[in-house]
Chain A
Amino acid sequence: MTARMPIYLDYSATTPVDKRVAAKMIPFLTEDFGNAASRSHPYGWTAEKAVENARDEVAKLVHADPREIVWTSGATESNNLAIKGAAHFYQDKGKHIITMQTEHKAVIDAFRELERQGFEATYLAPEADGLLSLDKFRAAIRPDTVLASVMLVNNEIGVIQDIETIGNICRENGVIFHVDAAQATGKVHIDLEKLPVDLMSFSAHKTYGPKGVGALYVRRKPRVRLEAQMHGGGHERGLRSGTLATHQIVGMGEAFRIAREEMDLENARIRRLRDRLLAGLQEIDETYVNGDLKNRVPHNLNISFNYVEGESLIMAVKDIAVSSGSACTSASLEPSYVLRAIGRSDELAHSSIRFSIGRFTTEEDVDYTIELMKSKIGKLRELSPLWEMHLDGVDISKVEWAAH
């Protein structure tokens, strides 16, 4: 890829479609355009074969049976289908559901909707490192708990939850376990033959596939039942009706095939870039890494620059494309709810930047970013009355501010 400004460091928001993926998709728009549900002619057979081939590729990346993969429009739909579908199906067994405060909005808002329908929800706070306390999780389970949902890799701070242990706790207590893995594919190894997970959500566009397609893993043994949320022609064994978007699905399959074959090499390279970026940024005073550094994908670096306000920081760094908190909430003036949940002060939450590194990030990109951050943070701190107070030895947290 040629150098293009601004430098893209927002791979957790979305990724470019890999050119190999795009090349595979195009014929299914213009030539092999058949409906995969058409059984009476070769147009349909070709589409069906392509869809099933892609299903195999998605299943292979996560060590699942292809029959356990249901196509959806993306991870948001997968999360909705899994959470509402399982809660509705098993509601006679109980109406208590558990998740974390740091989940993606697609999970949190599905839980909120279930609360409106009469379910009772527990939103567990993470520890300061972003990880779920297993004791707190165990303690939250009640006899009427039917479903728990915990994400594998957090979208804002990149921390990896101990899904295996959490899943085992769910198994012991007969709780259906859903995992949002939208940010995990191609970054961490997922083995659903071993992991005690019942439902898992995937997205194509976080892993160099197209937007608008995702999948939900639905375990066959022991079988997990869902109530469909989309009714129609009975596609995907009745779990998700709607004509399959062949080209999108083909793209997701190819993207996941590439991820399976290249992730180890790619992750080693990305880890080197992350380490370089981290070392450079830590030369700046008063920087704080948000979330645990060890249990974390190397693609994500979320850092707060103290005494600098987040939005002006984003303006200052317009030569790099990054997020202040989650892209989904950057239009609002609220500090990131994920950073608040791990106990960051409003000030540090406001001054956070998420750098996310990906397949096309270069060492030059990282070096440029480090220099840019050093110069811009310096400039904004010269402007900052809080930095001035800090240098004068004033403890900002002890100052009584007039609220407005």
Chain B
Amino acid sequence: MAYSDKVLDHYENPRNVGALDKNDPQVGTGMVGAPACGDVMKLQIKVNDDGIIEDAKFKTYGCGSAIASSSLVTEWIKGKTLDQVMEIKNSDIAQELALPPVKIHCSVLAEDAIRAAVADLKSKQTVASEVA
């Protein structure tokens, strides 16, 4: 399968690989996909007190396009607010990476990962505010 140069670049030099402390109240963790389907993405975001995403880390089990999609979104979401990152669409990711039709699901998964991480963070913050 021919991959675009951008996919190859992210695959060869993935950005922001790693893990954040998932118990940190300012960290949201999104894990999407399933091993049986051939891809699992874990995306973590850390927001500062101003609600800006100051750090993002990922780990992905999947094909080159899945790795590139998650690597790309970690770059895109840093410095943005939660509302801003919720506007990122899978089509933006697919277009940026020139994903072929059989790989569109990788960009869908990356979008899902953002939503899951944001949802996790928001649920933590709700719990925190209720406790307070």
Residues of chain A touching chain B, judged by Cβ–Cβ distance below 8 Å, are 307-312, 315, 331, 333, 335, 345-347, 350, 382-388, 396, 401-404
Contacts and interface: CB of A to CB of B under 8 A. Distances in A.
Contacts of A310: 38
A383 B108 CA distance: 19
Nearest to A335: B38
Contacts, number: 82
A386 B108 CA distance: 20
Nearest to B62: A309
Nearest to B17: A383
A333 B38 contact: yes
Which residue of B1, B35, B59, B63 has the most chain A CB atoms within 10 A of its CB atom? B35
A288 to B, nearest CB: 15
A16 B44 CA distance: 48
A404 B64 contact: no
A396 to B, nearest CB: 6
Interface string B38-79: 111110000000000000000111111011000000000000
Contacts of B59: 383-385, 388
Contacts of A307: 61
Contacts of B14: 383
Contacts of A386: 35, 40, 61
Which residue of B36, B105, B108, B112 has the most chain A CB atoms within 10 A of its CB atom? B36
8 contacts: A309-B63, A310-B38, A311-B1, A311-B38, A345-B36, A383-B17, A384-B59, A385-B42
Interface in B16-42: 17, 19, 31-42
B70 to A, nearest CB: 9
A404 B33 contact: yes
A384 B34 contact: no
A404 B109 contact: yes
Contact of A315 (B11, B17, B33, B42): B11
A404 B11 contact: no
Interface in B88-108: 102, 105, 108
B38 A385 contact: no
Which residue of B38, B39, B41, B60 has the most chain A CB atoms within 10 A of its CB atom? B38
B125 to A, nearest CB: 22
B60 A350 contact: no
B1 to A, nearest CB: 8
A388 B60 contact: no
Given A315-B3, A333-B102, A404-B109, A396 B64 contact: no
Contacts of A402: 32-34
Contact of B38 (A350, A387, A388): A350
A194 B38 CA distance: 46
Contacts of A396: 35
A382 B17 contact: yes
A403 B63 contact: no
Nearest to B105: A404
Contacts of A383: 14, 17, 59-61, 67
Contacts of A384: 59-61
A308 B35 CA distance: 10
A273 B40 CA distance: 35
A143 to B, nearest CB: 41
Contacts of A385: 31, 40-42, 59-61
A403 B34 contact: yes
A263 B81 CA distance: 67
Contacts of B37: 346, 403-404
A105 B39 CA distance: 27
B40 A312 contact: no
Given A311-B38, A315-B11, A383-B67, A401 B61 contact: no
A404 B62 contact: no
Nearest to B42: A385
Interface string B107-132: 01100100000000000000000000
B111 to A, nearest CB: 11
Given A307-B61, A315-B11, A388 B19 contact: yes
Nearest to A310: B38
